[in-house]
Amino acid sequence: MWRLCMTATQHKHLGDRGQMAKIVMKFGGTSVADLERLRHVALLVKREVERGNEVAVVVSAMAGETNKLVGWTRELAPLHDSREYDVVVAAGEQISAGLLAVALSAIGVSDVLFVHFPNGPDLNEAITAHVLDVGILGDTPALLGKASGLPTRLINQSVLGMDVWLVARKGGPRTVRDLDGQAVATSQGSYMSRYLLATLDANGLSKSTRVIHLLPSDAQAALERGDIAAYAAPINTGPLLVAKGYPLLDRASDHTGLTGSSVTVVVESFAAAHPDFAGAWNHARDEAVRDLQAHGDAYYRFHAAQVGFPLEVVEASYPLTVFRPEPLAPEGLALLEGARTFLRDEHLLRSDLSIQAWILADSR
């Protein structure tokens, strides 16, 4: 995704037209399939910029490009490394974005900023910097951000019961207790981090085991080099590593209250300015979840094609039970309360917070 802002010169010509609106414009592969269509998209974006709006533009790869890249990747290696896959498949969107930026520059819109959020803590930083109004992220970084003073309100939980796979390097530890004195890793500030800290503590290893921050995309290489003894892996990455033969030591779903959820939050000022947003968002999500649950096979095929993971990995990561049509199910709220309690008891929250007070009233 990339975000388009007006140049200072364009701002000067707005006069007294009032406060800017923030608009998201999404163009699929057919809309950017060739240069003529890219020029048309550029004109549509420019029109909104000239109206004084702040525009976020999301573009897909040109029609057919993603399928071609996915096919090539799978032909070379059915169980490919997710890092290489991301580089290959992202090329399609990068080409579309780059060409559109060129087309926009040719018609006088030149101030383009590319933004990427690899994890929840980075998304929190974007909210702090006032460049995001809505974010979907893991429950743990969302709670940490709120407790640190981020002006967010909770509108739903998009996924419930996200599992964690604690995988070891090949020929290494065989049980969790074998991690004594070893270095283990996960993405700090994530729901996997909460699981890992709780698991180490339950096994008396919190003081003897060193926890290292490492993004999921770097986990396999670190395990292969022997830099770490084990990695607490999230959905997609965990089942993929297990499929590649990395030993599974433990799973969050084997314990009560250690799975995670992803949440949708809105910035308070945005919610106040757009009081109907939460209701509209949750209504659209409700319809999408019901359709997904009614057509599970089609959903899994679509999801696997989008993320580039084998179908069985996606099915293991996202059992249909993790998607609930209601914005905030009772078991989801229980997960949030459990996460808040753990973070508070471990002195990881800057200040305590009330889950009920965090929920936007229009989301109930």
Q: Quick count: other Cβ atoms within 10 Å of Cβ 22?
A: 15
- CA 227 to CA 178: how far, in whole Å? 16
Buried b (16+ CB within 10 A) or exposed e, 317-330: bbeeebbbeebbee
Alpha-helical regions (H) of 2-51: 8-12, 35-50
The ranges of the chain annotated as CATH 3.40.190.10 are 120-156+264-353, 165-254
As given in the structure block, the two tokens for residue 186 are: 């996960």
The ranges of the chain annotated as CATH 3.40.1160.10 are 2-114
| Phi/psi of residue 52, nearest 5 degrees | 95, 15
* Residue-level pLDDT at 82: 57
| Phi/psi of residue 358, nearest 5 degrees | -75, -30
Q: How many CA atoms lie within 13 A of 75 on its CB side?
A: 6
Long-range contacts of 356-362 (CB under 8 A, 24+ apart): 358/146, 358/152, 358/153, 358/154, 359/153, 359/154, 359/155, 359/328, 360/153, 360/154, 360/155, 360/266, 360/271, 360/278, 362/155, 362/271, 362/275, 362/276, 362/278, 362/279
Q: Which is nearest to 215 in space by CA: 189, 241, 248?
A: 189
* Residue-level pLDDT at 4: 36
Q: Quick count: other Cβ atoms within 10 Å of Cβ 15?
A: 7
Partners of residue 137 on adjacent β-strands: 263
Domain 2-114 falls under CATH 2.30.290.10: no
- CA 122 to CA 142: how far, in whole Å? 11
* Residue-level pLDDT at 115: 53
Q: Which helix (H) or strand (E) holds 126?
A: helix 120-128
Q: Which is nearest to 203 in space by CA: 175, 230, 222?
A: 175
Q: At what angle do helices 82-106 and 65-76 cross, to 10 degrees?
A: 160
- CA 194 to CA 22: how far, in whole Å? 35
- Phi-psi category of 150—alpha, beta or left, where left has phi over 0 and alpha has psi -120 to 50? beta
* Residue-level pLDDT at 12: 34
Specify the CATH architecture of the domain 165-254.
3-Layer(aba) Sandwich (3.40)
Q: Which is nearest to 39 in space by CA: 95, 114, 101?
A: 101
- CA 238 to CA 232: how far, in whole Å? 8
Tens of pLDDT, residue by residue, the chain (364 residues): 333 333 323 333 333 444 566 676 777 777 788 888 888 888 888 888 888 777 777 777 787 787 788 778 777 876 656 556 666 766 776 677 777 777 777 777 666 555 556 677 778 888 888 878 888 888 988 999 999 999 999 999 999 999 999 999 999 999 999 999 999 999 888 889 999 999 999 999 999 999 999 888 889 999 999 999 999 999 989 999 999 999 999 999 999 889 999 999 999 998 998 888 899 889 888 998 999 999 999 989 888 877 778 899 999 999 999 999 999 999 999 999 999 998 898 888 889 999 999 999 876 6
Q: Which CATH superfamily is domain 120-156+264-353 in?
A: Periplasmic binding protein-like II (3.40.190.10)
Confirm if 162 and 142 have CB atoms less than 8 A apart: no
Confirm if 217 and 147 have CB atoms less than 8 A apart: no
As given in the structure block, the two tokens for residue 278 are: 């939460």
**3-class secondary structure for 242-296?**
HHCCCCEEEEHHHCCCCCEEEEEEEEHHHHHHCCCHHHHHHHHHHHHHHHHHHCH
Planar angle of CA 219, 224, 225, nearest 5 degrees: 100
Confirm if 41 and 31 have CB atoms less than 8 A apart: yes
